Chain A
Amino acid sequence: RKEVEQDPGPFNVPEGATVAFNCTYSNSASQSFFWYRQDCRKEPKLLMSVYSSGNEDGRFTAQLNRASQYISLLIRDSKLSDSATYLCVVNPPPYGQNFVFGPGTRLSVLP
């Protein structure tokens, strides 16, 4: 089993749709999780950290389920500018040093 797995995608959704991505991780000692977005031929950019109680930033909501070892990202009211690849990143101990990347899920928001 891979350390971090994501929905294979691609996801093609119309503008205004709600879309959810899932990510599973294998290291149960992990406590640090992040979502990044990456535009084509650009560097990954931090979208949000994922806190244990779940957190929201505008149209984006991240959830963590420790028991099932998965995290999710929900995007509401999709915009064309949300089109990108979304990377799930897990940081098992030692924190700040050991980052494990998922393969990414590509999202295309269509007009």
Chain B
Amino acid sequence: DVKVTQSSRYLVKRTGEKVFLECVQDMDHENMFWYRQDPGLGLRLIYFSYDVKMKEKGDIPEGYSVSREKKERFSLILESASTNQTSMYLCASSHSRTGIYSPLHFGNGTRLTVT
């Protein structure tokens, strides 16, 4: 079974803090993703990476950056946390960009509150 592990289930941070969300997958997946999910807005892609040190902006990258130094680990960084970044953050991975049936596998999410 694919396992995607996010470092924290719940996190409370203050406005202006730098926040690191960590994600590790154990299935040698090439692709990794960060989404946020808010009520009424669905899942929105922040960034994704299809290889080590490679990254692509998603739909809402502003205020975020990412790091992928190793294949199994994908970090999301909030440079200066703001209250509008309070959300559920979901990491996901998928196997191969050439495989048709390569579903996303999600971690169990980090619920971040910025006060």
Contacts from A to B (Cβ < 8 Å): 31-32, 34, 41-46, 49, 51, 87, 89, 91, 94-97, 99, 101-104
Q: A96-B30, A101-B43 are in contact. Are A32 and B101 (CB under 8 A)?
A: yes
Beta-carbon nearest neighbor of A43 in chain B = B106
Determine if B97 is an interface residue (Cβ-Cβ < 8 Å): yes
5 tightest A-B CB contacts, nearest first: A96-B102, A43-B106, A96-B97, A96-B94, A32-B100
Other-chain residue from B45, B100, B108 in contact with A95 (beta carbon distance below 8 A)? B100
Q: A42-B109, A43-B109, A104-B42 are in contact. Are A99 and B98 (CB under 8 A)?
A: no
Chain B interface secondary structure, helix, strand, loop or mixed? loop
CA A101 – CA B106 in complex, angstroms? Answer: 14
Task: Give per-residue flags for B78-102: 1 if the beta carbon is below 8 A from chain A beta carbons, else 0.
Answer: 0000000000101000111111111
Beta-carbon contact of A44 and B106 below 8 Å: yes
Beta-carbon contact of A97 and B107 below 8 Å: no
Beta-carbon nearest neighbor of B107 in chain A = A43
Chain B, interface size category, equals 20 to 34
Beta-carbon nearest neighbor of B49 in chain A = A97
User: In the complex, how many angstroms separate the beta carbon of A104 from the nearest chain B beta carbon?
Assistant: 7
User: In the complex, how many angstroms separate the beta carbon of B2 from the nearest chain A beta carbon?
Assistant: 9
Beta-carbon contact of B109 and A49 below 8 Å: no
Determine if B34 is an interface residue (Cβ-Cβ < 8 Å): no
New A-B contacts (18) at CB < 8 Å, excluding given A44-B90, A95-B100:
A31-B100, A32-B101, A43-B107, A43-B109, A44-B104, A49-B101, A91-B100, A95-B98, A95-B102, A96-B94, A96-B95, A96-B98, A96-B99, A96-B102, A97-B31, A99-B33, A99-B94, A102-B42
